């Protein structure tokens, strides 16, 4: 008589090898992973605090960037947003109605920072989660206040600490004692830190804006900024039409400190209105183009770990023949388009916005431009940003 087989001892999920747990979790949609973090402390560690799983998940899933369009509804007033994939396929209208007109739309790591005249909040298009932000100094004083005026916002993400950081620049006016005459304006800066794990969750509301004091420079040129490798970059200077006074200001979100960089000497005779800062191939780049020129020069700054920080190299000359518009901007860079990997490191495509409605991709390798404006059927919608999620929150 055969001996009775011992019943198999069930293995609990949490006791499985780490590699198997990673493989199982990696098959779950990102939206569901947000919900699974609340199951237990161990799952929270794997899905939120473990950097190994983030790398594993993103190596297995390549998130395709999407294009974000907006439409202002003046009758309400309100704002509608719509997201489309790169190939022009409509994904969804991610919000039917934000009940306020948005004055600024920023993005980092696939999350939106939406700012109105009175409120600011973060929005995740994938999970549909909304997080209200504390009222800034400018908003506390009320729109229309003569004592304060918003100049600019910036929005960045630290993958190491899994936190978002929002910068707010605003001006304040000094007054003479009891005469109340405006003496001068000072550019002030404040910062807010928002944990990525708090997106869409009810928190204690103890997050507050931290005053960084007076900004060491004046923000000039366009209000656009570049966010590269944990640093913000802006054009700054004393006088708008004196190129010798214009520099590039940086802000490191890890140490929360300002710095300064010089731009190429050959651009020193340009008006700051002809220049723009963008990120291409994870490097800070400067675009240079006069409105009547048929080409755009792209300068790239070497990274510090390459041994030649602040050294600029003219990397590309983009042929704009056939593009008859004075306002041409680069919104982002893509290595993978429609599933195709670029083998050469100089390859890839940049998203270019031409005026208010037209946009398309320019292939850096062969200099070919393809217009996408006619492929995306969104009349009366304005292209705002290209959203790309690089890290799992």
pTM, two decimal places: 0.81
Is the pLDDT assigned to residue 314 strictly greater than 80? yes
**Spatial CB neighbours of 363, under 8 Å, sequence gap ≥ 6:** 347, 348, 349, 369, 370
Residues of the chain with CATH 2.120.10.80: 216-321
Q: What is the pLDDT of residue 205?
A: 55
Q: Does the pLDDT of residue 254 top 60, yes or no?
A: yes
Average pLDDT over residues 29-47: 81
Place of tokens 């893509």: 334
The whole-number pLDDT of residue 78 equals: 83
State the pLDDT at residue 36: 84
Confidence check: pLDDT of 206 > 50: yes
Where residue 340 falls among pLDDT bands split at 50, 70, 90?
very low
Residue in the structure block whose two tokens are 């908003």: 139
Tell me how far apart the alpha carbons of residues 230 and 267 are, in angstroms, rounded to a whole number: 25
Query: So what's the pLDDT on residue 233?
Result: 93
Summarised one tens digit per residue, pLDDT across range 43-89 is: 888 887 777 887 788 777 766 778 888 888 877 788 888 888 776 56
Mean pLDDT within 358-365: 85
Question: pLDDT tens digit string along 120-174?
Answer: 889 887 777 788 888 876 666 554 455 568 888 999 999 888 889 999 998 887 6
According to the model, what pLDDT value does residue 4 have?
A: 60
| pLDDT score of 144 | 47
Q: What topology does CATH give the domain 216-321?
A: Neuraminidase (2.120.10)
pLDDT at 285 over 50: yes
Note the pLDDT of residue 165. 94
CA–CA gap between residue 108 and residue 297 (Å, rounded):
26
- What confidence tier does 210 reach under pLDDT thresholds 50, 70, 90? very high
380-393 mean pLDDT? 78
CA atoms within 13 A on the CB side of 313: 7
């Amino acid at each position: 008589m055969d001996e009775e087989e011992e019943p198999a001892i069930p293995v609990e999920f949490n006791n499985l090898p780490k590699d198997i747990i990673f493989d199982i979790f990696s098959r779950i949609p990102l939206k569901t992973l947000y919900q699974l973090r609340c199951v237990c402390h161990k799952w929270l560690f794997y899905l939120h605090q473990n950097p190994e799983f983030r790398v594993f998940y993103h190596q297995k899933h390549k998130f395709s960037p999407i294009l974000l369009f907006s439409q202002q509804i003046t009758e309400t007033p309100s704002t509608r947003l719509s997201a489309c994939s790169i190939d022009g396929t409509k994904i969804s209208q991610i919000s039917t109605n934000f009940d306020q007109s948005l004055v600024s739309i920023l993005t980092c790591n696939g999350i939106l920072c939406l700012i109105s005249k009175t409120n600011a909040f973060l929005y995740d298009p994938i999970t549909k989660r909304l997080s209200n932000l504390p009222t800034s100094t400018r908003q506390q004083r009320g729109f229309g206040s003569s004592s304060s005026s918003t100049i600019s916002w910036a929005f960045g993400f630290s993958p190491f600490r899994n936190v978002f950081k929002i910068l707010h620049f605003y001006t304040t006016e000094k007054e003479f004692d009891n005469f109340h005459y405006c003496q001068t304006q000072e550019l002030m800066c404040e910062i807010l830190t928002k944990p990525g794990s708090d997106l869409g969750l009810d928190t204690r509301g103890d997050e507050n804006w931290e005053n960084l004091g007076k900004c060491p420079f004046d923000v000039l040129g366009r209000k656009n900024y570049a966010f590269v490798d944990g640093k913000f970059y802006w054009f700054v200077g004393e006088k708008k039409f004196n190129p010798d006074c214009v520099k590039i200001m940086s802000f490191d979100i890890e140490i929360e400190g300002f710095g300064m960089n010089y731009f190429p000497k050959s651009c020193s005779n340009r008006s700051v209105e002809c220049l723009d800062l963008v990120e291409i191939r994870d490097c800070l780049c400067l675009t240079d183009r006069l409105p009547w020129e048929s080409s755009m020069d792209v300068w790239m700054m070497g990274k510090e770990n390459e041994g030649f920080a602040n050294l600029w190299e003219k990397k590309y000359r983009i042929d704009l023949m056939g593009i008859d518009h004075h306002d041409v901007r680069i919104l982002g860079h893509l290595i993978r388009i429609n599933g195709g990997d670029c083998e050469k490191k100089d390859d890839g495509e940049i998203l270019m916005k031409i005026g208010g409605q037209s946009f398309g991709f320019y292939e850096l390798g062969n200099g070919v431009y393809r217009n996408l404006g006619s492929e995306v059927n969104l009349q009366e919608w304005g292209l705002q940003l290209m959203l790309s999620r690089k890290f799992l929150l």
